[in-house]
Amino acid sequence: MSDDVTRAPRDRRRPGDTTGPQRRELPTVVRFDESRRSVIERRARRGELVRVRRGRYVAPEPAAGGVAVQREQQVLALVAAVAQTLRTDYCFSHESAALVHGLSVYRLADEVHVSQSWKPKVRRDRDDRVRRHPVDVPPRDRTTTPTGLPVTTLERTTVDCGRWLAGARALVVADSALRAGADRAVVDKILHDAAGRPGIRQARLVVDLADARAESPGESLVRWSVHEAGIDLPDLAVEVQTWRGTAWVDLGWPELRVGIEFDGAVKYSGGEHGDPRERLLAEKRRHDALTEAGWTILRVTWDDLAHPDRLVARIRRARAAARRRGTVR
């Protein structure tokens, strides 16, 4: 974006915006005991218990939500099982901490991250899904959940994920962490202290791009694709005056009147989101009002994010057309 364009403050929320992370609950773990072998095996055969790791079982979660939700449930079960077996000083970190904090994650791996100040001996029967990071996490970067689970703070989690994950996945976490209240000044201090360590340059970039106004992982992923393409970054929560009143566009370039709306399937699924037909009609009326106000609105779905080159081409065409319209005027 050109320097003469004023961006909205990164912490500004659109009116009525109450979305935010919700801390996830860990399932209850049933520990195998020889005296209860027959009971546990019988419950497992009935499907009342599922084995998470050696000697640890949990009750299966209802088959609700998509693949991503089910993966989160699996990893949370593994976190609970690992927490029951560890005895030395540790804290859950990286994506595991993000998940426990209730932050948004994208393409979550089926593994758990644990940071410890010592490097444990590698055993043949070790669980390959447990990633151990031999690092001394200082008190400043540690916290506990209401149930006493040790995790890295929002700020440390942001930096760890920025260093460890691919850029797009890291930005999803960073946006969500800032939305949850992570202190950017503390994040900057952690980045400073980690100077020279692997991945720190990417972490700085991710933090620089992070914005608390991003309401969904989809918005974060769109911004990462735009950044990768070398296009000026869009603003978020763009306020647009239309004949129907104030409308808020997810992302956009106000100087070009080009906006992007990320459409997940959830808001049209009914249930707590209301009548899907009425939602579609309301969205159509809103879209028409924005168009009449001179805006070009690109609608982006999860499928579009799977083809970033195609998405970027659409954005380039819309921006170029907006510039041509401005020249004619």
Residue that is last in its domain, among 213, 245, 268: 213
Query: Within this chain, do residues 49 and 175 fall inside the same structural domain, yes or no?
Result: yes
In a domain, 87, yes or no: yes
Residues 227 and 323 in one domain: yes
Q: Do 113 and 134 fall into the same domain?
A: yes
Asked, for residue 17, whether it belongs to a domain, the answer is no
Same domain, 209 and 278: no
Contact (CB, 8 A) for 194 and 213: no
Same domain, 154 and 65: yes
Asked whether residue 4 is domain-assigned, the answer is: no
Amino acid at residue number 209? L
Tell me: do 274 and 133 sit in the same domain. Answer: no
In this structure, is residue 24 part of a structural domain?
no
Residues 208 and 245 in one domain: no
Q: Calculate what percentage of the chain has a pLDDT beyond 70.
A: 85
Strands 112-116 and 150-152: unpaired
The pLDDT score that the predictor gives to residue 9 is: 58
Whether 134 and 247 map to the same domain: the answer is no
Residue 246 lies in a domain: yes
Residues 216, 219, 223, 228: is their CA dihedral positive or negative?
positive
**Of the candidates 213, 232, 251, which is a domain's last residue?**
213
Checking if the pLDDT of 50 tops 90, the result is: no
Q: Among 36-40, 146-150, 179-183, which is the least confidently predicted range?
A: 36-40
Q: Are residues 200 and 244 in the same domain?
A: no
Domain end position, chosen among 213, 242, 258: 213
Question: pLDDT for 74-127, tens place per residue?
Answer: 999 999 999 988 878 899 999 999 999 999 999 999 999 999 987 666 554 466
In this structure, is residue 295 part of a structural domain?
yes
Instruction: Tell me the CATH number at 238.
Output: 3.40.960.10
The answer to whether residues 77 and 180 belong to one domain is: yes
Average pLDDT in the chain:
86
Total residue length of the chain: 329
pLDDT band at 55 (very low <50, low <70, confident <90, very high): confident
Q: Do 288 and 187 share a structural domain? A: no
The answer to the question of residue 12 being in a domain is no
pLDDT computed for residue 3 by the predictor: 37
Nearest to 98 by CA among 192, 200, 14, 217: 217
Number of domains in the chain: 2
**What contacts 69, CB < 8 A, 6 or more positions away?**
none
Residue 248: which domain range? 219-328
- Residue 207 and residue 289 in one domain: no
